[in-house]
Amino acid sequence: MFRKFMCLLVITGTICTSPGILNAKDWSIISGGDGGEYEIISKSRESFELRLHRNTAVEKAWAMAIRDLNITAPSNTVIAFSCNPGTEYPVGMRVLISVKRDGKTELLFGPKQSISGKEDKFFSFDLNTIFKISTGEKLYQLKISVDISEAPSDSETKIVFDQISVISGNNNNKACSKDKVEYFPVAEQNPQSDKLSKTSDWIVVAPAKGGDYDLVSISPEEFILNIKRNEEEGKAAVQICRTIDKKIHTQSKLLFSCRAVNDNPVTGRILLSYRENGKSVMKFGENFEIKGKSFKNYSMGIDSEFKLGDAVYDIWQLKFSA
């Protein structure tokens, strides 16, 4: 059995040549298996397009779209949407919802679906029946996972998700009808102080089951991450992500400082995604240890840390792994 511990991280920093980094868009992507390359086009809070390229028949190929909710679950509620896989081969699809319970983030899994064809398909998932979510609970994040592991090698898959909505009413297959839709409201700001006003610049992605995670996104350059090890077997690991969407030369540097508020050391890692020929490419930095209550400063050359050539890249996302 694993012992419980809690670690509080404070991270602050930026890419030094680009202080005006854009805020995260409504939908972001978590690149998945090594068997594919992935891109998301966030059209609105209710719609996005996912493009997936299957580059090998050996490795798994999947990606996950994610967006913040930050709303209270109404009564008798379903999550509903339409999607068009546009394929003859089966595509795996799954809905996941993160909720806040007793100050902790818990990830709930919906049933796996196999979809195919070129017609619009309608889905609705009852929050209480499928996810065991009660009225009044805090809905934190919505995630939609797509798996193209059964697609032919070197194939392109484009899936459009539309009319993504929270609906109060009966769960039925045509729940996406416009006259029944109640769209997600904009998250209200509830600042604890002027400094700790929560933003959506940084979001939690890929939380492992071995821990509970709480994130305070202070600004595009600063966040606080609280990691609590639970009793479950498995890693206590998580990624924090924000969208940059800016052209940056690799001679720029990534500057940041961080500290661990208590005595538990944490292994950190920086990941960088960029767009190339319409595809998303992820690069991994080296692991580093975060230890001690005093801030430690880091300066990472984008070219040397992420093994990139001397050129301007379309930098898409910055991720911090702990």
What are the sequence ranges of the domains in the chain?
6-23+201-321, 28-180
Q: Find out whether 140 and 70 touch, Cβ atoms under 8 Å.
A: yes
Fold of 6-23+201-321: Jelly Rolls (2.60.120)
pLDDT of residue 40: 85
pLDDT of residue 251: 76
Q: Find out whether 303 and 312 touch, Cβ atoms under 8 Å.
A: no
Q: Tell me if 6-23+201-321 shares its fold with 28-180.
A: yes
b/e per residue 190-216 (b: at least 16 CB within 10 A) = eeeeeeeebbbbbbbbbbeebbbbebb
Fold of 28-180: Jelly Rolls (2.60.120)
Q: Find out whether 280 and 38 touch, Cβ atoms under 8 Å.
A: yes
**Enclosing H/E stretch for 302:** helix 302-305
Q: Which 3 state secondary structure label does DSSP give 279? A: strand
Query: Could you tell me which of 147, 166, 160 has the C-alpha nearest to residue 43?
Result: 160
How many angstroms separate the CA atoms of 319 and 270, rounded? 6
pLDDT of residue 181: 33
Please give the full DSSP string across 111-175, using - where no structure is assigned.
--EEEEESS-EEEEEEHHHHH-PPTT-EEEEEEEEEE-TTSPTTEEEEEEEEEEEEEES---TTT
Query: Could you tell me which of 97, 116, 115 has the C-alpha nearest to residue 107?
Result: 97
Q: Which amino acid is at 14?
A: T
Q: Find out whether 80 and 163 touch, Cβ atoms under 8 Å.
A: yes
Please give the full DSSP string across 48-108, using - where no structure is assigned.
EEEEEEE--SSS--EEEEEEEEEEEPPSSEEEEEEEE--EEEEEEEEEEEEEEETTEEEEE
pLDDT of residue 17: 35
How many angstroms separate the CA atoms of 244 and 224, rounded? 19
Q: Which 3 state secondary structure label does DSSP give 34? A: coil
pLDDT in tens, the chain (322 residues): 333 344 555 455 444 433 222 233 578 886 566 777 888 888 888 888 888 888 766 677 788 888 888 888 877 778 888 888 888 888 888 898 988 888 777 888 888 888 888 888 888 888 888 888 888 888 888 889 888 888 888 788 889 998 888 776 543 433 343 333 333 332 333 333 333 334 457 888 777 777 777 777 777 777 778 877 776 666 778 888 888 888 888 877 787 878 877 777 888 888 888 888 877 788 888 888 888 777 788 888 888 888 888 788 888 888 888 8
Query: Could you tell me which of 119, 109, 114, 110 has the C-alpha nearest to residue 150?
Result: 114
Sign of CA dihedral 284, 268, 38, 40: negative
pLDDT of residue 231: 63
| Environment class of 32 (CB within 10 Å of its CB; exposed 0-12, middle 13-18, buried 19+) | buried
How many angstroms separate the CA atoms of 148 and 158, rounded? 10
Ramachandran category for residue 136: left, alpha or beta (phi over 0 → left; psi -120 to 50 → alpha): left
pTM here is 0.50
Pairing assessment for the beta strands 312-321 and 266-276 based on DSSP bridges: antiparallel
